[in-house]
């Protein structure tokens, strides 16, 4: 089944794209988009990959599901398009960024500038039905994104993986921690933040310090 992925990712993921489960997954997604309102828009489904080729990845930020509200999801975890109101988790991410590296809180909630610098903004599940969080889980996306993480872990060195919340931490089992830096914290949702599991993690400055030590460019968060 032909999938619209840029060449570098097509090459890395050829085996998983050719697997029977992926054909079933694509059939499921197509039917869902025909029958229901789903997010992100089809053209944005692989945005994380389009904007961050395999060879450019230096940081992997892992989310769970796309936003399921109208106009929010555009294929990058935690990010919203220019002009869209910031969801609560994104607000807490940007507040932590402000506290950590002193960057003023931005007007835009779009994280496209991060992607263009080598940050793969990857959701574990790439699609969702409108208004129904988790509705496209356990259909095959998790297996696909496990393969993405495995390929990055195996074929690259000196990456930073940011795992926020228990769901993301479980995906961390596919990472070789001898080759990469794994940063873990609670989820940036208000629930975790109010329990003291989010603020003060300093992941942004830690990531840049590690990248510098690897001889890689730091991220202008």
User: What is the spatial distance between Cα 221 and Cα 98, in angstroms, rounded to a whole number?
Assistant: 10
Catalytic residue among 15, 44, 65, 146: 65
CA distance 135 to 202: 32
Q: Residue 102 is encoded by which pair of tokens?
A: 């002193």
Which residues fall within 8 angstroms of residue 135, CB to CB, at 6 or more apart? 68, 128, 129
Cα(2)–Cα(124) distance, integer angstroms: 21
Cis peptide leading into 40, omega within 30 of 0?
yes
Please name the residues in contact with 191: beta carbons below 8 A apart, sequence gap of 6 or more: none
Q: Is 65 an annotated catalytic residue?
A: yes
Give the β-pairing of 119-123 and 59-63: parallel
With beta carbons less than 8 A apart as the criterion, state whether 88 and 148 touch: no
Positions marked catalytic: 65
């Amino acid at each position: 089944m032909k999938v619209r992925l840029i060449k570098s990712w097509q090459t890395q993921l050829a085996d998983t794209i050719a697997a029977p489960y992926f054909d079933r997954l694509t059939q499921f997604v197509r039917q869902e988009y025909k029958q229901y309102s789903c997010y992100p828009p089809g053209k944005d489904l692989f945005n994380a990959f389009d904007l961050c080729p395999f060879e450019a990845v230096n940081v992997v930020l892992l989310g769970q599901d796309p936003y399921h509200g109208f106009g929010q999801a555009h294929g990058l975890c935690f990010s919203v398009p220019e002009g869209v109101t910031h969801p609560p988790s994104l607000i807490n991410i940007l507040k932590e960024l402000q506290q950590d590296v002193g960057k003023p809180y931005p007007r835009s909630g779009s994280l496209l500038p991060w992607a263009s610098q080598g940050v793969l903004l990857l959701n574990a599940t790439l699609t969702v039905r409108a208004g129904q969080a988790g509705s496209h889980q356990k259909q095959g996306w998790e297996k696909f994104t496990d393969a993405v993480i495995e390929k990055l872990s195996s074929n690259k060195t000196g990456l930073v993986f940011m795992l926020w919340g228990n769901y993301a931490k479980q995906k961390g089992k596919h990472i070789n921690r001898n080759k990469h830096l794994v940063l873990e914290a609670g989820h940036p949702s208000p629930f975790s933040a109010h329990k003291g599991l989010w603020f003060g993690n300093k992941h942004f400055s830690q990531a840049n310090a590690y990248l510098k030590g690897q001889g890689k460019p730091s991220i202008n968060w």
